[in-house]
Amino acid sequence: MKKRSLKNLTIATIGGLALIVGACSNEAATDTSKTDQFETQNAEGTDAQAETAPAGDRVLKDAMGHEVKIPAQPKAIIASYLEDNLVALGVKPAAQWMTGKGSMQNYLQDSLEGIPGIPSELPLEVVASYSPDLILMDSAELAAGDKYQQYSAIAPTYVVGSAQNNDWRQELLTVGEVLGKKEEAQKVLDDYEAKAEAAKAQVAEATGGAKKAAALWLLKDNVYVVNQNLSSGDVIYNDLGMAVPDIVKQASEASEANWSSLSLELLADLDADYLFLVNASGKTKEQILADPVWKNIPAVKEGHVYEFGDDRSWLYTGAVANGMMIDDVLESVAKTP
């Protein structure tokens, strides 16, 4: 997903489809080492946060049921893989999510340029080195077992969501609440909904109705199709009202993964009038479409194939990412400047 800037990918096979889980899914931390510093924290210490909160601090219950003392004005926030929300709210973290190869969320770098990266598995020692005063976890998986207590020994730790793929709208509102920016978060969401509604009308007018579309991620020699309710699928189908091809429906029903691998046979049968290609194949669009497997796809026949680099936001989700996708669709399909 991104991620080559994405989180680690887990591939399973279901009904002939290789399913990728991880573009926006949550990964468990891999650093299991313990030090005396992190073992000193226990559940009683965490529960006592509510009793020791100074004036101006708040105590909020997170997705795992912890009562977390939130600093009144956190200055050094670690919010790995929640940076889209921070950027939308005008907040800069102390460090930003990064893969083992050093890749970051490229689409956010205009706002996060110069912010150092932190490994996606959030090693305890690395987290502590930034002296954070608040840690936000995007998933309960990262805080599984005794890890929550270990992170809490470093700084107040709030788990935003419990699902593998959190609803991005609720995630934004939750982060806004935690950071004391509830009204700002609601405005970001309202502005996004208005933008999506206007774009939906423009797309319908430009295409002449609810035409079928698909977002495909080309990674080396593999082709993946997006889930109809996740990542860019959520945008093109649910927000912009484009119709879902049968093959996309089948892949989405087979798994909750963000992206599913397509065999050449399934690709050849893809009934999409519009294609959005996230190209990380190392080939040009022309080289890709020259393969006979593409020739019978309606979008290819009609010249409705649009290409984007994997440095764009199509592999992610959030108010910022989704807003950029809408811009890409309008510039491609509706030919807006």
The string of pLDDT tens digits covering residues 112-126 is: 999 999 999 999 999
The yes-or-no verdict on residue 203 having pLDDT over 80 is yes
The yes-or-no verdict on residue 176 having pLDDT over 70 is yes
Structure tokens at 107: 């689409």
Tell me the three-class secondary structure of the chain, residue by residue.
CECECCCCCEEEEECCEEEEECCCCCCCCCCCCCCHHHHCCCHHHHHCHHHHCCCCCEEEECCCCCEEEECCCCCCEECCCCHHHHHHCCCCCCEEEECCCCCCCHHHHHHHCCCCEEECCCCHHHHHHCCCCEEEECCHHHHCCCHHHHHHCCCCEEECCCCCCCCHHHHHHHHHHHCCCHHHHHHHHHHHHHHHHHHHHHHHHHHCCCCEEEEEEEECCEEEEECCCCHHHHHHHHHCCCECCHHHHHHHHHCCCCEEECCHHHHHCCCCCEEEEEEECCCCHHHHHCCHHHCCCHHHHHCCEEEEECCCCCCCCCHHHHHHHHHHHHHHHHCCC
Cα distance from N-terminal residue to C-terminal residue, the chain: 27
The yes-or-no verdict on residue 175 having pLDDT over 60 is yes
CA distance 119 to 95: 10
CB 48, CB 138: distance < 8 Å? no
pLDDT at 100: 73
What mean pLDDT comes out for the span 171-180? 98
Q: At what angle do helices 182-207 and 168-178 cross, to 10 degrees?
A: 160
pLDDT at 13: 37
pLDDT at 337: 67
Sign of CA dihedral 217, 222, 225, 226: negative
What mean pLDDT comes out for the span 244-252? 96
CA distance 293 to 92: 45
CA distance 138 to 161: 6
Confidence of residue 209 (pLDDT cuts 50, 70, 90): confident
Q: Which domains does the chain have, with CATH numbers?
A: 13-21+186-334 (3.40.50.1980), 31-180 (3.40.50.1980)
pLDDT at 166: 86
pLDDT at 19: 42
pLDDT tens per residue across span 8-51: 343 333 344 444 444 433 333 333 333 344 444 444 444 444 44
pLDDT at 55: 57
The yes-or-no verdict on residue 6 having pLDDT over 80 is no
